[in-house]
């Protein structure tokens, strides 16, 4: 009689396990799948709710960046043309001469693009420093990485003059 009771318990345990498995397959797995789908849709709904705010922020950012470009006095032309125009304005304002303006040098290191602009100014030390300061601080062309001052003599006029070779580097 003990063995019959044991068989009944084993069969009852197997039936409970089978019924739990069927309940999971029929009801619980579908509920879990629907719940995960609900979370995905809720996230998408939140993204769609934020679109007007994001558009507003982007339009404000565009207006802000346009105002910065106007303050820097940049047009839609190339960076080199803008730099040359600003240098010419500063040269005329500070009574200097732009002797040489070389094309930009582009180097790529570790997915970073280094653009280096090279030009030579002639004039007084103070005027050259004012021009360099104005170009670096009030324009968005990059940083001055090197200035080489050389004092030369014009043997025809027997006058000394100061030249500065300036390198400006911009990272992209």
Does position 159 have pLDDT exceeding 90, yes or no? Answer: no
Residue 78 is predicted with a pLDDT of 73
Residue 41 is predicted with a pLDDT of 92
pTM, rounded to two decimals: 0.53
CA distance 97 to 32: 76
**Which among 12, 132, 142, 4 is positioned nearest to 79, based on CA atoms?**
142
CA distance 83 to 78: 9
Q: What integer best gives the mean pLDDT of the chain?
A: 83
Residue 40 is predicted with a pLDDT of 93
CA distance 166 to 129: 11
Summarize pLDDT for 57-100 with one digit per residue, the tens.
888 988 888 777 676 655 556 777 778 888 888 888 888 888 88
Q: Assign 119 to helix, strand or coil.
A: strand
Summarize pLDDT for 16-33 with one digit per residue, the tens.
999 888 888 887 888 888
Residue 76 is predicted with a pLDDT of 53
Residue 28 is predicted with a pLDDT of 81
């Amino acid at each position: 009689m003990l063995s019959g009771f044991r068989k009944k318990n084993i069969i009852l345990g197997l039936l409970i396990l089978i019924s739990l498995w069927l309940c999971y397959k029929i009801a619980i797995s579908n509920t879990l799948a629907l719940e995960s789908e609900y979370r995905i849709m809720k996230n998408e709904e939140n993204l769609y709710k934020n679109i007007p705010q994001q558009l507003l922020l982007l339009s404000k950012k565009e207006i802000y960046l346009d105002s910065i470009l106007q303050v820097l006095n940049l047009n839609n032309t190339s960076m080199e043309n803008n730099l040359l125009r600003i240098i010419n304005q500063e040269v005329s304002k500070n009574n200097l001469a732009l002797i040489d303006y070389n094309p930009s040098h582009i180097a790529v290191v570790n997915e970073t693009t280094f653009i280096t602009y090279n030009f030579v100014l002639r004039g007084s030390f103070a005027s050259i420093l004012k021009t360099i300061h104005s170009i670096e601080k009030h324009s968005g062309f990059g940083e001055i990485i090197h200035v080489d001052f050389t004092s030369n003599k014009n043997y025809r006029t027997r006058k000394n003059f100061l030249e500065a070779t300036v390198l400006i580097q911009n990272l992209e």
